[in-house]
A and B are shown apart, each in its own frame.
Chain A
Amino acid sequence: SAVISQKPSRDICQRGTSLTIQCQVDSQVTMMFWYRQQPGQSLTLIATANQGSEATYESGFVIDKFPISRPNLTFSTLTVSNMSPEDSSIYLCSVDPLVGTDTQYFGPGTRLTVL
Chain B
Amino acid sequence: GESVGLHLPTLSVQEGDNSIINCAYSNSASDYFIWYKQESGKGPQFIIDIRSNMDKRQGQRVTVLLNKTVKHLSLQIAATQPGDSAVYFCAETPGGGTSYGKLTFGQGTILTVHP
The answer to whether A103 and B46 touch across the interface, beta carbons within 8 angstroms, is yes
- Max count, chain A CB within 10 A of own CB: residue among B32, B103, B104: B103
Q: Identify which of B42, B100, B101 contacts A109 (C-beta below 8 A).
A: B42
Instruction: State whether the Cβ of A1 lies closer than 8 Å to any Cβ in chain B.
Output: yes
- Are A102's CB and B106's CB within 8 A? no
Report the Cα distance A45→B46, complex, angstroms. 17
> DSSP majority for the B interface?
loop
Chain A residues closer than 8 Å to B101, beta-carbon distance:
31, 33, 45, 48, 96, 102, 104
What 1/0 flags go to B43-79 for Cβ under 8 Å of A? 1111001000000000000000000000000000000
State which of A33, A44, A96, A106 has its C-beta within 8 Å of the C-beta of B43.
A106
- Chain A residues engaging chain B, CB cutoff 8 angstroms: 1, 4, 31, 33, 41-45, 48, 58, 92, 96, 102-109, 111
List, sorted by A's number, 15 A–B pairs whose CB atoms are closer than 8 Å.
A1-B46, A4-B43, A33-B103, A42-B105, A42-B107, A42-B108, A43-B91, A48-B101, A102-B32, A102-B93, A102-B100, A103-B46, A103-B49, A104-B34, A106-B44
